[in-house]
Structure 1
Amino acid sequence: MTNERQGTLIGIDVGGTKIEGVLTDGSGAVLATHRVPARPGDTQVVGDVVAVCRRLSDAPLPVGIGIPGQVDSERGVVRDIVNLGIVRLDLAEEVGAALGTPVRVENDVNAAALGAAAIVGEPVPAGQDFVFLNFGTGLAAGIVRDGRVAHGASGAIGEIGHIPVDPNGLPCPCGQHGCLETVASGGAVARLWPQGEPPMPDLLAKAAAGDAEAGRVLGMVVHAIGDTVQIVIQAYDPAVIAIGGGMAKTGRPLIDAIAAELDRRAAASHFLRTLDMPGRLRLLPADEPIGAIGAALAAKVLGQ
């Protein structure tokens, strides 16, 4: 497929099981999509990304790639992606050499934050933040400021899942105990409520039906999600918080449960009532290629 329309971009979302690509215009509107299974190994990842790009367009368009692991966005180097068997890979250099085009690489949550901001479509005043909360296997935040991803001094900005809130709590793979991610994530809910398929909708339904154990587990999860939202609001004071990730597929009942928890907290605190925490929440649609769209938008900086 050829598309030389000015401002057209390619975005690639590299996951542990699939590589999804989109062709977009400069606003993030999707013009075409293509998806292939992900294969582990440096050569396979580079080759599959290149093949998806060529399927989307045979014109040399700017390419943005969102990928998990440790990402040096300035150099386009990725490290320690266990599910893909990558230790260190000069992803931007290798893909760019194969395609003859500039390539920008971002952490997958950061890329998804850009995509989420485009899909929500609410203007955020200059100097204020848009935060994407990814409740997936883990828990992380992406922060968008003035249309660009915030990286922080070391790239660790948004690693909210590894804030320890309970030193006597569950062990976390990061080496700490009681991190938010151990309770407020899709992976945590699957461990705490293994009989549900999918876990979060089942947990909500069983708790609503009066199941005592479901009520106990749901109370833990929603309290931890409330902690997450409150920490984000008090740390970043964002205009909008977009809820995404696998857990967001639960839909409106999840947002209602979070809002009820935030309202409960505000009822006891005038300070929290002034923050209007529930009013900042937005639920992202489950069927949009948010990561790939955001990766494409990340590539816009290549032409600036």
Structure 2
Amino acid sequence: MTAGLVAGVDIGGSKALAVVVDDANRVLGQVRLPTERGAAGVVATAAEAVRQATEMAGSTLTELTAVGVGIPGLVHPSNGSVSHAVNLDLGADPVDLSAALQRELGVPVSVENDVNAVAVGAHRLAGARRGDLAVLSIGTGLAAGIVVDGSLHRGSRGGAGEIGHIPVDPLGRWCSCGQRGCLETIASGSALSAAWQPAHEDGSSVWSAAGAGEESAAAAVRSFGAGVAAAVRLLVLAWDVEHVVLAGGVTGVGQPLLDVVRSELLAAEAGSAFLAAMRLPERVSLLPSQSPVAAVGAAVLARDSLLESFTAIPDTLLPDSSVDEMSS
């Protein structure tokens, strides 16, 4: 049983990237559009991105079997509603994104948190031999998406992977979640900026300054790297994932980020035979740049959801044409 063509959309605060993929996850069409904010704008952007990506794939909306959306904020996968996506001007009132897009496109739509979509995309694009995997998304905040035994792990209430809000320093800075000393306060883009910007207006220059030997910048980078390394250890020790893939806005710096995280992991190994046996530095990698991983992951999740809905229905209750179509 196959699902045919599916579309996936990665919606961010500045852009929406849509792809159309086949059953082998080959990208047949891809388009990037600026995001319109607010509920109506997000729906309009996603719908138009899907239309254009489908056209680029040489297909029509009637040939799509499902659409998946990866989006920041609090997502309820059971009904596809989204809230608290601040960068998209979506507040506390849930927006029924799934239903609104389904009305626009005439295709079943599933919605997932963007970090989860990245994790699924990274796992599927790496091939069947890839082991359990976690994506550590380092942006304004810190969160993870976890794939175990080939399936996304959401947790009992959808909170799996919210490792940024695990307190690690009882005397640390207050976190936006209301706790003190959370991992996010030392291992996120906002934490790095806070450590550097009090004395420098341009927070983005911390990496170049550290590379040039400026001690205050180097200290900020080391502290940040130690925090990210702690997050890597947490993910591996809690889940024993074979791979931790660094993603998110901060990873735009590239190799210097990976180098500092691996250096901190190696330093921890020097004093712990237990950690050395875990071989953590070689389990960390960077998400490939310019790869539509999140959009592909959203498409994969949409396909999986569609196939699950059909396998849950006895064949005797399906119209003959539906059975024939899904098995062709």
What is the TM-score of this pair, normalised by structure 1?
0.90
Q: Give the distance between the partners of 2:213 and 2:16, measured in 1 at CA.
A: 41
Shift of 1:242: 0.8
Residues 82-131 of structure 1: per-residue CA shift (max 9 Å, x gap): 23232211111121122221111100110111122234446235xxx210
Aligned counterpart for 1:255 among listed residues 243, 258, 266: 258
**Following the alignment from structure 1 to structure 2, what is the Cα–Cα distance between the partners of residues 122 and 32?**
23
Structure 1 residue 157: Cα displacement: 0.4
* Structure 1 residues 283 and 120: alpha-carbon distance in aligned structure 2, compared to 1, 3 A threshold: farther
1:1-304 equivalence runs, <5 A: 7-57=4-54, 58-60=60-62, 61=64, 62-86=66-90, 87-121=93-127, 123-125=129-131, 129-194=132-197, 195=200, 199=204, 202-301=205-304, 302-304=306-308
Identity %: 40
Q: Is the 2:74–2:84 Cα contact (8 Å) retained in structure 1?
A: yes
* Partners of 2:137 and 2:248 within 8 A in 1: yes
Quote how far apart the aligned CAs of 1:9 are: 1.4
CA contact (8 A) 2:71 2:111 kept: yes
Counterpart-to-counterpart distance in 1, 2:14 and 2:208: 29
- 2-structure distance, mates of 1:253, 1:83: 27
Partner of 2:322: none
Given that residues 120 and 284 in structure 1 are in contact (C-alpha distance below 8 angstroms), is that contact kept between their aligned partners in structure 2?
no
Aligned letter for 2:139?
Answer: G
Query: Could you give the per-residue CA deviations for residues 28-77 of structure 1, whole angstroms, max 9, x where no partner exists?
Result: 33221112222222222222211221222223311000011111112111
| CA distance in 2: counterparts of 1:196 and 1:6, whole angstroms | 51
Residue 205 of structure 1, CA deviation: 4.1
Contact persistence 2:226–2:264 (CA under 8 A): yes
In structure 2, how many angstroms separate the alpha carbons of the residues matched to 1:242 and 1:270?
24
Question: 2-side partners of 1:119 and 1:192: how far apart?
Answer: 36
- Deviations 1:145-199 (Å, cap 9, x if unpaired)? 2332111011110001111111211221111121111121122222322348673
Contact map agreement 1:133 1:141 (CA 8 A) in 2: yes
Secondary structure of 2:42's counterpart equals helix
Whether the 8 Å contact between 1:28 and 1:294 is mirrored in structure 2 is: no
**Mean Cα displacement is larger for which, 87-96 or 188-197?**
188-197
Over alpha carbons, which structure has the higher Rg? Answer: 2
Q: Which runs of 5+ in 2 are unaligned?
A: 55-59, 309-328
Q: Is the 8 A contact 1:184 1:224 kept in 2?
A: yes
Cα displacement (A) at 1:138: 1.1
Q: Which sits farther off after the overlay, 34-43 or 68-77? A: 34-43
Asked if 2 retains the 8 angstrom alpha-carbon contact of 1:27 and 1:118, the reply is: no
| Deviates most, 275-284 or 21-30 | 21-30
Contact kept? 1:21, 1:33, Cα under 8 Å: yes
8 Å contact kept, 2:61–2:105: no
Matched residue type, 2:6:
L
- What's the TM-score, normalizing by structure 2? 0.84
Residues in 1 aligned to 2:196 and 2:122: alpha-carbon distance in whole angstroms: 28
Which amino acid counterpart does residue 242 of structure 2 have in structure 1?
A: A
